[in-house]
Amino acid sequence: MIIGSEIIFRENLPSTNTYASQILRSKNLKEGTIIYTNYQSAGRGHGGNGWESEDGMNLLFSTLIFPIVVNPADQFIISIAISLGITDFLERYIPVCSVKWPNDIYVNNDKIAGILIENTIMGNKLEDTVAGIGLNVNQVKFLSSAPNPVSLKMITGKNYDLNDSLLRLASDLDKRYKQVLSEKYQQLRDAYIAKLFRLNEWAGFRDQTGIFTGRIKSVSESGRLQVETKSGSINEFSFKEVEFII
């Protein structure tokens, strides 16, 4: 196994992503090392948002990978593999979940996990990736202004052992990462597209021109969302160029 071959636990950290990036070179970390914590005092989400997680209730970790075989133009495949690793894990416990493009993990209309991928590109190579995952497991009350958090416990009513869950999730991520290493890109992309939140469903979106109705048709190889509008045209969006109306 690569992902999860080493696990470093710290009782609390500002952010597992920040810590992983800081110690990455100085400590010569092995590929697949997981940095895992119970509490983050400065957990980071996309776009400068924070990440709420009650002490000891959820999975909060970052894994370090060296995807040098991946051309930087194909870097979205990492996001796909990590998203699918999480959906594979969740489907052990719940019947359905989806990936809200680009990489939020949803159950119905609620967000159960977030992913923060930070790549270092040197020359024409993807040198290293820190993939941070926050998965809501046992927390049942969320206090931040995040609109729609949900946890496994809120869905199933059960508590989960975090150490066991981490090992299972690491193994699911590892299987998907191995598909990246063996260049099964088409298989990964097809599985990702099939899991997309609101795939082929008419729904509301907001772009810089305002609100419109559209339906997701696919995601390009570079990770752009392809949305059909009522006029029949297909518009492509990069991350942050379009918002879902939930």
Q: How near is the Cβ of 49 to ligand BTN at its closest, in Å?
A: 5
Nearer to ligand BTN, 113 or 235 (CB): 113
Nearer to ligand BTN, 131 or 235 (CB): 131
Nearer to ligand BTN, 70 or 133 (CB): 133
- Give the footprint of ligand BTN on this chain (CB under 6 A): 15-17, 40, 43-46, 49, 51, 60-62, 104, 114-116, 132-134
Q: How near is the Cβ of 37 to ligand BTN at its closest, in Å?
A: 8
Q: How near is the Cβ of 107 to ligand BTN at its closest, in Å?
A: 14
Q: How near is the Cβ of 160 to ligand BTN at its closest, in Å?
A: 17
Q: Distance between CA 75 and CA 238 in Å, rounded? A: 14
Nearer to ligand BTN, 133 or 188 (CB): 133
Q: What number of other Cβ atoms are within 10 A of residue 149's Cβ?
A: 19
Nearer to ligand BTN, 16 or 139 (CB): 16
Q: How near is the Cβ of 135 to ligand BTN at its closest, in Å?
A: 8
Collect all residues with Cβ–Cβ distance below 8 Å to 85 and sequence separation of at least 6.
3, 169, 172, 173, 174, 175, 176, 177
Q: What is the DSSP string of the chain?
A: --TTSSEEEEEEES-HHHHHHHHHHHTTPPTT-EEEEEEESS-B-GGG-B----TTTSEEEEEEE--TTS-GGGTHHHHHHHHHHHHHHHTTTSS--EEETTTEEEETTEEEEEEEEEEEEETTEEEEEEEEEEE--S-----SS-S-B--HHHHHS----HHHHHHHHHHHHHHHHHHHHTT-HHHHHHHHHHTBTTBT--EEEEETTEEEEEEEEEE-TT--EEEEETTS-EEEE-TTS-EE--
Q: How near is the Cβ of 56 to ligand BTN at its closest, in Å?
A: 14
Report the residue closest to ligand BTN, judged by CB: 114
Nearer to ligand BTN, 47 or 123 (CB): 47
Nearer to ligand BTN, 15 or 179 (CB): 15
